[in-house]
Amino acid sequence: MLPRHIMLSFLIAAVWGFNFIAAKWAVEDFPPLLANGIRFLFVLVVLLPFLRLVPGKMKQLLTAAATLGVVHFGLLFFAMSLADGVGSISIASQLNVPFSTILAIIILKEKVGWKRLFGISISFGGVLFLGFDPIIFAYWDAVFVIACAAFVYATAAVMMRQLRDVPAATVQAWVALAGVLGSFIISAVVEDNQIASIGSAGARAWLSVAYAGLISTVIGHGGANYLFRKYEISMVTPYFLVMPFFSVIGGVLLLDEVVGWEMVVGGGMTIFGVLIVTLRNNKRAMQKAVGSEGV
C-alpha cells in the first residue's frame, strides 16, 4: 500500500475508535435508542439521494438494514449507556470477526482449520480475561451487550453477502432509514423523556451524534470502501485492528479512564486472536478466488 493509503487506514481506525467516545457522550444526554435514531437521521440526510428501490432484493435489503441499523447499533448505544469506560467495549466489539467465522461454519458449512480455531479461542479468552479487571467487572453487563452487538453485526454481514451487487451507498441509505424509523418507534415504547432530553441536551451530545453519523460514515465507511476498491481486503483490514487502541487512548485522555494490566493483557489477546482469524479468512478468500478463476 502507498504511504498515504496506510495513513488513511490509520485515520479510519482512529475515526472508528473515537466513535465509541462520541457514543458515550451521546447517551449521557439522550436515551440510547433515541441517540441511535438521531445518529442515523444525520446519515439519512446525506444519503437520501441514494435511497432507491432495488427490484428483487428489497426483502433481503430491509432485513439486513433493520438488523444492522436498529439492532446492532441500538445495542452499541445501549452498551455505552451501561459502561463506565470505552476501552473494554471497543475491544469486545472486535468479536464480530470470530463470530462471522463461526456463522460461516454453521450456515455456509465452511471448513475451518486449527489456526482459525486457535484465533477464535484466543479472542474470546481475551474478552473473558477483561473480567479480571475490577473496574471492568463492575460493568460486565455492558461487555456482554457489546458482545451481543458484535454477533448481530456478524449476522448482518452474512445477510449483506446477498447484496453484493447493490451499490454500497444504497445499502447505507436503507440502513439509515431503518435506523431512524426503527429506533424512534422502539424508543417511543421502551424509553422515557425523549422530548425533554432533546430540549436539554448540550452541545457536546449533539456534536457527538453528528460525529457518529457523519464523520464515522463519510470518512470511516467511505474511506474503507475507497481502499477496498484499490487493494485486496487482506491488505487493508489488518490496519483497522488498531481501532481499539485509539478508543483506549481517547478514554484515558478524554474520559479519565484507568487502564489496568488486565485490559492490556485481555485486549492484546483479543486483538491477536482477531488478527489470526482475519488473516486466515482473507487467505482463504484469496485461495477461493484463485480457484474460481482457474475453473
Inter-residue contact 41 to 275 (CB < 8 Å): no
Beta-carbon neighbour count of residue 206 at 10 Å? 17
279 vs 82, more confident: 82
Question: Alpha carbon of 42 to those of 94, 225, 240: distances in Å?
Answer: 25, 20, 24
55, with CB counted inside 10 A (0-12, 13-18, 19+), is exposed
Asked if residue 208 has pLDDT above 70, the reply is yes
pLDDT tens-digit map of 104-160: 777 766 676 777 778 878 887 877 777 667 777 788 899 899 999 999 988 888 888
Inter-residue contact 130 to 92 (CB < 8 Å): yes
Q: What is the DSSP code string of 220-247?
A: IIHHHHHHHHHS-HHHHHHHHTTHHHHH
Asked if residue 191 has pLDDT above 60, the reply is yes
Q: Cell for 191?
A: 424509553
Cell 461487555 belongs to residue:
143
Quote the pLDDT of residue 211. Answer: 94
64 vs 112, more confident: 64
State the DSSP code for 86.
S
For helices 73-82 and 140-160, give the axis angle rounded to 10 degrees: 170
Residue type, 40: F
- Give dist(CA 168, CA 284) in Å, integer: 24
pLDDT band at 282 (very low <50, low <70, confident <90, very high): low
Q: What is the pTM of this model?
A: 0.85
pLDDT band at 295 (very low <50, low <70, confident <90, very high): very low
Asked if residue 292 has pLDDT above 90, the reply is no
- Give dist(CA 110, CA 64) in Å, integer: 21
Q: Cell for 142?
A: 455492558
User: In this predicted structure, which of 8-17, 61-70, 286-295 has the lowest mean pLDDT?
Assistant: 286-295
Residues 6+ apart with CB under 8 A from 198: 30, 34
Delimit the domains of the chain by residue range.
3-293
Inter-residue contact 83 to 89 (CB < 8 Å): yes
Q: Cell for 262?
A: 488486565
Quote the pLDDT of residue 108. Answer: 65
Whole-number percent of the chain with pLDDT over 90: 40
- Give dist(CA 269, CA 91) in Å, integer: 10
Most confident of 21-30, 134-143, 253-262, 274-283: 21-30
Residues 6+ apart with CB under 8 A from 101: 110, 112, 116, 120, 277, 281
pLDDT tens-digit map of 160-189: 877 878 888 898 899 999 999 999 999 999
